[in-house]
Amino acid sequence: MDPARRDHLLNALWVIDEDGRATAEALAAAARGPVGPEDVAALRAEGLVDEVYGQLPLTPAGRVLAQALVRRFRLSGALLHAVYGMDPERADALACDLEHDLRPELTDALCTFLGHPTASPRGRPIPPGACCAAHRTTVEAPVVPLAELRPGERARVVYLKPRDHHRLHRLTSLGLTPNVLLDLHQRQPAFCVRFEGTELAFDRDVAADIFVARVGG
C-alpha cells in the first residue's frame, strides 16, 4: 500500500474509533472517498487493523502509528489556526501536507511552542506527547552548529556558514554539502565526522560553521 494512502486511512481509523463507530462505512465517510476491501486487506497484512464482526479496530501497532499521525496533523492545524488565523477547514487541508514532514523532535517542539494544546481547531483531542508530560516550556533549536553535537550523534547537514569562501570550497569539495547525513565520531583533539564512506577531521572553528539537524535513532 502506498504510504500516503496508508497514513490517510490510519488517520481516518483513529477518528472513527474516537467516535465509537469503527465500521467500513464510517471509514469511507471519514476518509472522504471510497475504501475497498483491498484497502482493509492491505492494512491487515501490515498488522495495523483487525476485522471483527464488522468492526475495524486498530491493532496495538496500528494505534501507535495512527496516534503519531493524528498528533502531527492536529498540531499542524493548531499552528496554522493560531499563528496564521486560518479557518479550521483551510488549516486542516494544509495540515494534511505538513504532517508527513514533521519529525518527532519537531513535533514536540511545535507542541511546546503552542503551549501544549489539548484540542485541534475543530475541537478534536490532540494526543499528548512526552513534552506534555514533562511540562516543557522552552523549545530546543532544531538546527545547531555541529560543534554542539556529542560523540555518537547523527545529524543531517542543513547549511554551511563559513567565514571565508576558501573554507566553503574546501568543505563542499570534500562532499560535505546540505542534506548529507553524518556521524560525529569524536570531539577531541579534533572534531571527526564520518559520512558516505569518508572520514573528515577539523577544528572547532570549522565545526561552528556547519549547521545540522539531529537525526534520531
Give the class (CATH, top level) of 3-58: mainly alpha
Instruction: State how far Cα 190 lies from the chain centre.
Output: 32
Nearest to 75 by CA among 42, 98, 105, 44: 98
Q: How far apart are CA 37 and CA 26, in angstroms?
A: 14
Sequence ranges of the domains in the chain: 3-58, 64-133, 143-215
Instruction: State how far Cα 108 lies from the chain centre.
Output: 9
pLDDT at 54 over 70: yes
The domain at 143-215 falls in which architecture?
Roll (2.30)
Helix (H, G, I), strand (E, B) or coil at 125: strand
pLDDT (average), residues 157-163: 83
Q: How far apart are CA 115 and CA 72, in angstroms?
A: 15
Model pLDDT for residues 85-100, shown as the tens digit of each residue: 888 888 888 888 777 7
Amino acid at 77: G
Q: Is 143-215 the same fold as 64-133?
A: no
Neighbours of 11 (CB within 10 A): 20
Q: How far apart are CA 205 and CA 58, in angstroms?
A: 51
Q: How far apart are CA 14 and CA 205, in angstroms?
A: 49
Give the DSSP letter of residue 119.
Answer: B
**Which pLDDT value is given to residue 216?**
67
pLDDT (average), residues 175-196: 91
Give the class (CATH, top level) of 64-133: mainly alpha
